[in-house]
Amino acid sequence: MPRTPAHRSRVGSAALAAAAALLLGLAPAPAAQAGADGEKAAPTLHELADRTGRYFGSAVDNPELADTEYANLLGSEFGQTTAGNSMKWDATEPRRGEFDFTQGDEIVNYAQSKGLSVRGHTLLWHQQLPDWLTSGNWTADELRSLLKNHITNVVTHYKGKVVHWDVANEIMNEDGTYRENIFYKTIGPSYVADALRWARAADPDVKLYLNDYNVEAVGAKSDAYYTLIKRLKADGVPVDGFGMQAHLALQNGFPNQLRQNIQRFADLGIDVAITELDIRMILPSDTAKLARQADWYGQVTRACLAVERCVGITTWGYSDRHSWIPGTFPGEGAALPWDENLRHKPAYDAISAALSAAAKKEDRQH
Ligand code: G3I
């Protein structure tokens, strides 16, 4: 498989960090640390992913940082995080023209203290918009100017601190038509290209993504993004990646042709990321459901690993202790690879095994 410079630059940062630590006489990285019984500690998911040139991350919401046991494990096991809520419009511009980055900065500071990269989420979405915006009766020009001002301020504030931005989140319906959000209804579809251009103007280096759920399979919704991104690229609009959220549910079936779907987006010349992975089930969980869930986590991980430009995987939280699912889908849950007590579930082992196989293959090739 040809390795791109981008890939090489992503490979081996764990190895480099370990070498640098040795040179500086510092303690070795946790993966190389001997346990009390003399056994080597298992490598973390991110250390394994890093050996393939990818990251493995988990989203986090601000209140969860107060759970120190949870926050410490997040900081040691993962290499990337996404702010679950605190970079959304209602949090960052609660009053027109008044920006508040307190909560988002808390996530960035935490991430920096643990050495995690940060995905910015999200510059525009139809949910979690402030009342002043949704209750206004804006002309197209007015809303365009509000959107530009929001994007410019938020991206400028986080310049150099986030590596990816979900510029536009969930802008398509299931049938592949544009979602009739406030931006579409007021401005028309051109808001998407404009949003990407304004984000690029504010930070030339951050990777700009479109992001959505139910786009993991080949189908009307992912087709719509494929067509849109192809056209944006042809028009010279800055779009760098496509985020597949991957909020999956055992009862809904595994997304068909996931790997092929990731590949066709990569073939457009963009990156792909799995951005919000979780796999819920109807409660109570049992051994069979947990085994099926593990199989799916393994399949998603291998699908990403099979595509050169699939740059990483982020789970939407990592433990059943903190998850959005029970609140949104009553009677469902148990969606994450760690249980409420922060113990590994079979899903963890499946992810680890998939990453480990790819890491060993990568090691042999270099
Ligand atoms: O901030 C208020 C707080 O003031 C109030 O006391 C409390 C009472 O319920 O609610 C708080 O707001 C909640 C917010 O999370 C912050 O915690 C909302 O009720 C709650 O609905 C909101 O849920 C978030 C959801 O997006 C909103 O749709 C979830 O935490 C967040 O994980 C979820 O994330 C989305 C991604 O952004 C996009 N993809 C889907 C994903 C899951 O829905």
CA distances from 272 to 54, 89, 142, 241, 252 (A): 11, 24, 33, 5, 23
The yes-or-no verdict on residue 5 having pLDDT over 70 is no
Kindly state the tokens that stand for 175. 């049938």
CA distances from 259 to 241, 266, 314 (A): 16, 11, 17
Q: How far is the CA of 273 from the centre of ligand 1 (A)?
A: 22
Give the pLDDT of residue 38.
53
276: Cβ below 6 Å to ligand 1? yes
Q: Has 174 been annotated as catalytic?
A: no
Label the pairing between strands 332-333 and 271-282: antiparallel
The yes-or-no verdict on residue 353 having pLDDT over 80 is yes
pLDDT digits (tens, 9 = 90+) for 169-193: 999 999 999 999 999 999 999 999 9
pLDDT digits (tens, 9 = 90+) for 232-280: 999 999 999 999 999 999 999 999 999 999 999 999 999 999 999 999 9
- For the chain, what's the residue count? 366
Q: Has 276 been annotated as catalytic?
A: yes
Check: CB of residue 271 under 8 Å from CB of residue 240. Answer: yes
Which residues does residue 212 pair with via DSSP β-bridges, in sequence order? 244
Q: Which atom of ligand 1 approaches the CA of 63 most closely?
A: 17
Kindly state the tokens that stand for 119. 């995905």
CATH class of 44-365: alpha beta
pLDDT digits (tens, 9 = 90+) for 181-234: 999 999 999 999 999 999 999 999 999 999 999 999 999 999 999 999 999 999
Distance CA 67, CA 37 (A): 29
pLDDT digits (tens, 9 = 90+) for 15-60: 444 444 334 433 333 333 334 455 678 999 999 999 999 999 999 9
Q: What percent of the chain has pLDDT over 70?
A: 89
Give the pLDDT of residue 37.
52
DSSP state of 84: S
pLDDT digits (tens, 9 = 90+) for 299-321: 999 999 999 999 999 999 999 99
Give the pLDDT of residue 24.
40
| pTM (predicted TM-score) | 0.92
47, 64, 216, 276: which one is catalytic? 276
Give the pLDDT of residue 39.
63
120: Cβ below 6 Å to ligand 1? no
Give the pLDDT of residue 18.
40
Pocket test for ligand 1, best of 58, 62, 85 (most atoms within 8 A of CB): 85
DSSP state of 366: -
222: Cβ below 6 Å to ligand 1? no
DSSP string, 289-346: HHHHHHHHHHHHHHHHHTSTTEEEEEESSSBTTS-SHHHHSTTEE--SSB-TTSPBPH
Give the pLDDT of residue 280.
98
Q: List, in sequence order, the alpha helices (H) in the chain.
A: 5-10, 13-23, 45-51, 68-77, 89-92, 102-114, 131-134, 140-157, 182-187, 190-202, 220-234, 258-266, 287-305, 325-328, 346-365
Check: CB of residue 49 under 8 Å from CB of residue 313. Answer: yes
Pocket test for ligand 1, best of 62, 128, 280 (most atoms within 8 A of CB): 128
Q: How far is the CA of 85 from the centre of ligand 1 (A)?
A: 6
Distance CA 288, CA 62 (A): 34
pLDDT digits (tens, 9 = 90+) for 67-116: 999 999 999 999 999 999 999 999 999 999 999 999 999 999 999 999 99
For CA atoms 345, 346, 347, 353, the dihedral sign is positive
94: Cβ below 6 Å to ligand 1? no
Q: What's the chain's average pLDDT?
A: 92
The yes-or-no verdict on residue 281 having pLDDT over 50 is yes
pLDDT digits (tens, 9 = 90+) for 105-144: 999 999 999 999 999 999 999 999 999 999 999 999 999 9
The yes-or-no verdict on residue 2 having pLDDT over 80 is no
64, 93, 170, 216: which one is catalytic? 170
